Structure 1
Amino acid sequence: MSDREDWLALAAVPGLGGQRIQQLLDQATVTEIRKMPESHLMAMGLKGSQISLLRQPDSKRLQEALRWCEQDNQQLLVLSDPAYPRLLKEISSPPPVLFIRGEPHWLCEPQLAIVGSRHASLDGREAAREFAAAMVAADYVVTSGLALGVDGHAHDSALKNGGATVAVLGSGLGRIYPAAHRELAGLIAEQGALVSEFWPSESPRPQHFPRRNRIISGLSVGVLVVEAALKSGSLITARYALEQDRDVFALPGSIYAPGSKGCNALIKSGAKLVESPVDIFEEVGALTHCAKSSQMSVSLPHPENEQLPFNAVLANVGNEATPVDVVAERCDQPVHEVMTQLLELELQGVITSVPGGYIRSRRG
């Protein structure tokens, strides 16, 4: 049996979990674990039924998974592989195997997660698109969960702005969920990657999605919550992010909007309130360097790929009044040059002059 089959056999044992598997791997390789005496395995905490399944896995299921991995643009990534994402490997319960459709190398690039409500408001959908566009412009991969609402808009905006995106599923990659996003999933596989720890034929189940969320945050250097109710999967992702020592960001919203209560609660609990992508880029530098050293740009394109001038200046104007001297300092440009650029952006309707500085207009 190959090393890949050994890994699948280990991953298929119910009740082990990533943390227990990691403890086993600290003592032996996966092939050695499968050959250990039963008494030794029981001493390591395995039950008799688990040992039986480890030694004699469901051959039909295993072969189906192997055949899936042999198809074009589909493969298996195991925990011991040098290509396994470094940040994900460091969480307390990393998935022992990852099924991937697309390019695995995107999982090792610096990623920022965007998550939020499946029933996002117009503003929430627009924010997801704008932040995703800025993230790919800054050479980040946008990571999310392929759900309806915020997730789907973040993925779509990343693709339409020429960037890469990673979708982590709560089902097997042979059972794309939700069905409405099958076409989007196909585009992601071409320009990024679909990822799941669940076997390709696995159906979506409610208990899968919290497990999926720990992978979204584990892959990322930071998590942005766009909109969320007080009880939502997005807050589960944020909690995982905090446990994994990732930065958590949240967009504030009206105290009267149910979809903003989760974000507002996160901010009260210590998440960083953000108004523009620059607020995120200022915070994630250290972990980004840990994932991979890269030269970042903070230019912010229009979500529909319109080429706007003075991107560095535009990226530093948000939804609250920003004084000219603050914009100049952030851009490291002379004040008189920044004033000229701001004036042209205002003439184009991208920003608006208000008492105290400039704010971004709806078009910007």
Structure 2
Amino acid sequence: MNYYYQSGVQLVDTKAYYVLLSMVDGLGPRRLAALIELMGTAEKVWYASESVLRSVPGIPAKVISSLLDKRKELNPESEVQKLADRGIGLVFIDEPEYPRILKSIYDPPKVLYVRGKKNILNEQMFAVVGSRRATHYGLTAARAIAGELSRVGLGIVSGMARGIDSAAHRGALDSGGVTIAVLGCGVDVVYPRENRNIMEEIIEKGAVISEFPPGTSPVAGNFPQRNRLISGLSCGVLVIEAAEKSGSLITVNFALEQGREVFAVPGQVTNKLNRGCHQLIRQGACLVENAGDILEELGLIGTDKTLPKHDICCIRGNIYLTDEEKRVYNIISDDPISSETIICKTGIRPSDVISMLLVMELKGLVKQLPGQRYVRNVLD
């Protein structure tokens, strides 16, 4: 069968036709890949006649109608410039900024929309996901573990949802690390609305990305598609507080298909939010109590696979501390000491000290007493 296209407007880069096609409702990566394989280029797909489009197997009539409607609405010369004017960048699959690890998944998107720093997309990343209705325990664990991983050079990927996702992003940001938020909507859409501030901070210090074009609403069907990118960008996925039927477990399924390592934080057996995590552990997921468990399982302790921001030292067993955390730990003894005194003696930023104390408390190294005073915990 001979495929053809009308003589259309030429863009500076014909790859920009991927942008136009990504705005067609229902034309996902697989269908677009099938069309391009038959017609040769995205430009030829964009300008293909209705009869040619309808002759392609597996392309629903409503998708073809949507493409024809978009072709009437969109001006190929101006759409990419509109994105640039709004601070929205583009990364195409054949460009060096495109995440190399993402190319290995079954159906990587041809183009990513990006707000923030494109240059971090190829840094080593780790995903943290979990319940939107997280408990204080889950939020604390997510923030602490994400912060620990960030301090040794791993970027944090999550979905910027309420609960565990937001806590993981916050942990990375507070630790001076990088984080990527993968959205199930357009990068110009704040979802949930209360995350506007954290979204702006992620854009400033990391990146907000999506395969969905700007303006796309956060409809339920977009999130499984989003989840495959969260796992696809990462060397491993940590689940914190997931029910038996949870979106986080969809991410895990993608992770397993993609050959990624899966980790889970255990919790109270009486809390239904922990049943999904306990199920994962029974099925072979690595049980995680702290970041050291993850780093050890990934083989990143004592290797050059990461670029640590600080040296890591082993306090005992698999309990690891960074240089700064060790400075804080060494000041604490059997005699209670206030957080203010620790801050004065170390000269470390107050927010960092509080975060480190929280991490050490979770690891069982220190115990908090009334009045924000701390003592060393006795290790068995």
Query: Structure 2 length as normaliser, TM-score?
Result: 0.74
Partner of 1:313: helix, strand, or coil? strand
Q: Is the CA contact 1:228–1:261 (under 8 Å) kept in the aligned structure 2?
A: yes
Superposed, which structure 2 residues align to 1:1-364 within 5 Å? Answer: 1-2=10-11, 3-25=14-36, 28-34=40-46, 39=52, 42-43=55-56, 45-46=58-59, 50=63, 54=67, 57-60=70-73, 66-71=80-85, 73-285=87-299, 294-296=306-308, 312-314=313-315, 322=317, 346-347=333-334, 359-361=364-366
AA in 2 matched with 1:57: K
AA in 2 matched with 1:361: V
Deviation readout 1:226-277 (Å, 9 max, x if unpaired): 1111111111111111111111100011211111111101111221111121
Q: Closer, same or farther in 2 for the Cα pair 1:211/1:313, shift >3 Å? A: same
Moved more, 115-124 or 36-45: 36-45
Question: Which stretches in structure 1 are left out of the alignment for 5+ residues?
Answer: 300-310, 332-340, 352-357
Identity %: 36
Q: In 2, Cα distance between the equivalents of 1:134 and 1:175?
A: 30
Q: Closer, same or farther in 2 for the Cα pair 1:249/1:65, shift >3 Å? A: farther
Q: Of the two, which has the highest radius of gyration?
A: 2
Moved more, 236-245 or 13-22: 13-22
Deviation readout 1:128-176 (Å, 9 max, x if unpaired): 1111111111111111111111111111121111111111111112221
Q: Give the superposed CA RMSD.
A: 3.4
Aligned residues: 325
Report deviation, 1:218: 0.8
Partner of 1:282: helix, strand, or coil? helix
Deviation readout 1:96-140 (Å, 9 max, x if unpaired): 221110011222111111111111111111111111111111111
Q: In 2, Cα distance between the equivalents of 1:293 and 1:26?
A: 37
Name the residue aligned to 1:307: none
AA in 1 matched with 2:233: L
Report deviation, 1:200: 1.1
Q: Is the CA contact 1:9–1:54 (under 8 Å) kept in the aligned structure 2?
A: no
Q: Closer, same or farther in 2 for the Cα pair 1:272/1:98, shift >3 Å? A: same
Q: Is the CA contact 2:53–2:64 (under 8 Å) kept in the aligned structure 1?
A: no
Q: Closer, same or farther in 2 for the Cα pair 1:86/1:182, shift >3 Å? A: same
Moved more, 89-98 or 146-155: 89-98
Q: Closer, same or farther in 2 for the Cα pair 1:173/1:275, shift >3 Å? A: same
Q: In 2, Cα distance between the equivalents of 1:224 and 1:348?
A: 36
Q: Is the CA contact 1:8–1:62 (under 8 Å) kept in the aligned structure 2?
A: no
Moved more, 25-34 or 210-219: 25-34
Q: In 2, Cα distance between the equivalents of 1:23 and 1:359?
A: 54
Question: Which stretches in structure 2 are left out of the alignment for 5+ residues?
Answer: 1-9, 322-327, 337-356, 369-375
Q: Closer, same or farther in 2 for the Cα pair 1:284/1:73, shift >3 Å? A: farther
Partner of 2:133: helix, strand, or coil? coil
Q: In 1, Cα distance between the equivalents of 2:188 and 2:264?
A: 33
Query: Structure 1 length as normaliser, TM-score?
Result: 0.77
Q: Closer, same or farther in 2 for the Cα pair 1:40/1:296, shift >3 Å? A: same
